[in-house]
Amino acid sequence: MNIAIFKAYDIRGKYPEEINEATVARITETIAKSIKKGKIIIGCDVRASSFSLCKAALDALKSFNGEVVPVGVVTTPMFYFLVNQFKANRGIMVTASHNPKEYNGLKMVKEGAFPISGKEVLELITGNQ
């Protein structure tokens, strides 16, 4: 896994060289394990690679002992609203925001739609909490 994709505010990189379905699945599993049960909202933007990455995230949550709420294609502000509306414990949005089309990534939030940084996720993955 390329640790350079873990940024201060999110996770992003060129698809599929730096971020791909396997990477997204591992990150999603890590986020789910950090809460063990509860509710996770998953959405995506309209980038060509977002649908495949979102499916990888959903597939990674099949063994999650909680509720998974796929919200489909949404804007980032709508994603934040839905995390609050559904009182979710976590939210995962597949998006690279303003970056060029060859990029993709993840924005992750906890209760209240407060951001989880890419650096925090990397610490969870590596076990250096």
Kindly report, residue by residue over 94-123, the tens digit of the pLDDT: 999 999 999 999 999 999 999 999 999 999
The closest alpha carbon to 42, from 95, 4, 6, belongs to 95
CA 116 to chain centre: 10
What gap in Å lies between CA 61 and CA 70, rounded to an integer?
11
* Catalytic residue positions, numbered: 97
Q: pTM for the full model?
A: 0.94
**CATH code at 96?**
3.40.120.10
Kindly report, residue by residue over 24-41, the tens digit of the pLDDT: 999 999 999 999 899 999
Whole domain around residue 63: which residue ranges? 3-126
Q: How many domains are contained in the chain?
A: 1
